[in-house]
């Protein structure tokens, strides 16, 4: 049994599937109906010769239909044209024998456009109209009197006009359907290209984050190396020099040796402080025990208690586990803003952390004295708490820092970075 896959999916046949069934099984039903009606009226309007002819033509029509049911090729093919022409001739001969076989002839109105090439559709419809007009003219085919001929001409004109009008309407609907299908195909292609472009953009975005992180790591290594060379290494060199001086003056001048020893101790303490500061700048200790919202909340609370400035912390969106680099960057920016806020003379400060799908923002606002952004000294790659340092930190992970301020207008700082989730949490 023939079943359309679309029907199996949707559960009920569509209009197109109903037409497919009609074109496949309808000819059998119409031929059977015409034969039954002709059999009932045969004694009244058919001669014995007509009955013999019908007894031969009906099986031929059935064989033709069985052949077409197995062939079933595309419209406009040689097999489709042959099927339509032979079936129309059989319908013409059957209608010649008995006008009620026009029931079978009506198939031509339905499938002429389906079976014939575009230039042959009108001829097929007019041939069908001629057979239908002859069956309705009063005496069948051929017309036997002048009145029958007049009726045939009038009916043929009526059928021909109607078929041409409907054919034109069908042609326009087919053109609109073709245009609609082409538009849908173009939209599907555009959507596929858009999805591909979005996937490529996502890949490029991920690659950019990796490159930014690698650049940040390289930049941080360079900074640490420079700090070690400029502070700790210099301090150790000074300590060695002072200890050597102590050794040289220990016997000849004990007092001078003591001074050198004090200097060595001071240099050692200073170097220890520089080492601690470098380590502190690497990994925020606050993130070892809390997530970013918790660490920021403690930072804001501590700063508020230390300065006496009212500070409010707010989280919007759904908090998600963040990559260490993202959390550390935002926490460092917040700490830098807290340090800079000491000089803002603000009475109230608001800090908002917002999870916004593919990005995360940190907004810090105060009602302090503000400043002139044009007067800020450019960032020279040293230190970590200035606006230039904050921008550099954000840019390392493909982020941005924007500042809105002015003398006496307060300050609003917005750090915006991509929301990169913690892969370890996703694996767990």
Per-residue pLDDT reduced to its tens digit, 276-326 = 666 655 556 667 678 889 988 988 888 887 777 888 999 999 888 888 778
**What pLDDT does 360 receive?**
93
379 DSSP assignment? P
* Phi, psi angle pair for 318, to nearest 5°: -95, 120
Could you tell me the CA-to-CA distances from 4 to 12, 17, 23, 26 in Å, in that order? 10, 7, 14, 17
**What pLDDT does 160 receive?**
77
Question: Residue 7: pLDDT above 60?
Answer: no
Question: Residue 354: pLDDT above 70?
Answer: yes
* Domains of the chain listed by start with CATH number: 5-144 (no CATH), 287-427 (3.30.565.10)
**What pLDDT does 59 receive?**
93
**What pLDDT does 274 receive?**
67
SS3 284: coil
**What pLDDT does 406 receive?**
83
**What pLDDT does 313 receive?**
92
Task: State pLDDT tens for residues 146-183.
Answer: 777 887 788 778 777 877 776 676 667 667 877 888 88
Question: Residue 68: pLDDT above 70?
Answer: yes
Sheet of strand 359-366, all strands in order from the earlier edge strand to the far edge: 310-316, 348-356, 359-366, 411-418, 400-405
Task: State pLDDT tens for residues 364-401.
Answer: 888 888 877 776 665 555 444 467 778 888 888 888 98
């Amino acid at each position: 049994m023939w079943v359309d896959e679309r029907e199996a999916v949707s559960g009920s046949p569509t209009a197109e599937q109903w037409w497919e069934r009609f074109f496949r099984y309808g000819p059998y039903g119409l031929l059977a109906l015409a034969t039954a009606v002709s059999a009932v009226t045969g004694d009244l309007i058919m001669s014995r010769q007509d009955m013999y002819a019908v007894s031969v033509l009906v099986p031929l029509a059935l064989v033709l239909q069985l052949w077409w049911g197995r062939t079933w090729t595309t419209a406009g093919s040689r097999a489709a044209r042959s099927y339509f022409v032979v079936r129309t001739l059989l319908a013409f001969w059957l209608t010649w024998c008995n006008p009620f076989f026009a029931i079978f002839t009506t198939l031509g109105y339905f499938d002429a456009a389906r079976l014939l090439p575009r230039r042959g559709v009108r001829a097929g419809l007019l041939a069908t109209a001629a057979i239908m007009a002859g069956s309705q003219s009063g005496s069948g085919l051929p017309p036997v009197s002048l009145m029958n001929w007049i009726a045939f001409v009038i009916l043929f004109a009526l059928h021909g006009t109607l078929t041409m009008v409907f054919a034109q309407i069908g042609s326009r609907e087919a053109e609109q359907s073709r245009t609609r299908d082409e538009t849908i195909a173009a939209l599907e292609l555009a959507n596929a290209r858009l999805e591909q472009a979005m996937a490529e953009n996502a890949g490029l975005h991920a690659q950019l984050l990796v490159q930014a992180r690698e650049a940040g790591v390289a930049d941080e290594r360079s900074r640490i190396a420079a700090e070690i060379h400029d502070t700790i290494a210099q301090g150790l060199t000074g300590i060695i020099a002072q200890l050597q001086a102590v050794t040289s003056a220990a016997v000849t001048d004990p007092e001078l040796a003591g001074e050198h020893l004090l200097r060595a101790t001071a240099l050692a303490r200073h170097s220890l402080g520089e080492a601690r500061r470098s380590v502190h700048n690497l990994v925020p200790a606050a993130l070892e025990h809390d997530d970013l919202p918790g660490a920021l909340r403690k930072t804001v609370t501590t700063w508020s208690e230390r300065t006496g400035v009212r500070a409010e912390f707010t989280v919007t969106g759904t908090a998600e586990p963040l990559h260490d680099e993202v959390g550390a960057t935002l926490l460092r920016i917040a700490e830098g803003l807290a340090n800079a806020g000491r000089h803002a003379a603000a009475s109230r400060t608001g800090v908002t952390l917002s999870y916004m799908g593919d990005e995360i923002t940190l907004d810090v606002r105060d009602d302090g004295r503000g400043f002139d952004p044009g007067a800020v000294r450019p960032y020279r790659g040293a230190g970590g708490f200035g606006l230039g340092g904050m921008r550099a930190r954000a840019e390392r992970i493909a982020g941005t820092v924007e500042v809105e301020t002015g003398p006496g207008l307060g300050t609003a700082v917005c750090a915006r970075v991509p929301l990169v989730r913690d892969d370890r949490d996703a694996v767990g």
